Structure 1
Amino acid sequence: MCESSAYMVTPEGETKIMDYVVDIVPNDDGSLTLSDLLGGTKIVEGRLKEVKLLAHKIIIEGNVV
């Protein structure tokens, strides 16, 4: 499968915010909309820092809305 897990990185550390992410859409306000395999969505404020394709890991720097 090609799904990844999304993690939020802050000065306090790294926190998983969503599993089975299949889509990331940047919004006009600077936030990101993440969608999972079952159609669930989450909007996060932050910037895409790194995508590790082989590790299925998405790293976002910022805060969850």
Structure 2
Amino acid sequence: MCESTAYLITEDGERKLMDYVVDVVPKENGKLSLTDILGEEQIIEGILKEIRLLEHKIIIEKTI
């Protein structure tokens, strides 16, 4: 399986956004679209900081 878990990094630490993410697409105005294996979409304001393929981890930093 190729799914990953997306995490948001804020001043308060790291929190899980979504499990089983299969698509990350940049959108306008500094937003990212995350889609999971079931087709559910979440729009997140932030920038992609890191993707750890072996850990199946997507790290997004919240923009201020």
For normalisation by structure 1, the TM-score amounts to 0.94
Measured after TM superposition, the shift of residue 11 of structure 1 is 1.0
Distance in 2, matches of 1:30 and 1:52, equals 21
Q: Partner letter of residue 57 of structure 1? A: K
Distance in 1, matches of 2:45 and 2:20, equals 19
Q: Could you list the runs of 5+ residues in structure 2 that have no partner in the other structure?
A: none
Equivalent residues, number: 63
For normalisation by structure 2, the TM-score amounts to 0.95
Q: Partner letter of residue 22 of structure 1? A: V
RMSD: 0.9
The aligned counterpart of 1:37 is 37
List per-residue Cα deviations over 1:3-61 (Å, max 9, x = no partner): 00000001100000000000001002210000000000000000000000000000000
Distance in 1, matches of 2:9 and 2:30, equals 16
The aligned counterpart of 1:11 is 11
Distance in 2, matches of 1:44 and 1:28, equals 11
Q: Could you list the runs of 5+ residues in structure 1 that have no partner in the other structure?
A: none
Distance in 2, matches of 1:14 and 1:30, equals 19
The aligned counterpart of 2:2 is 2
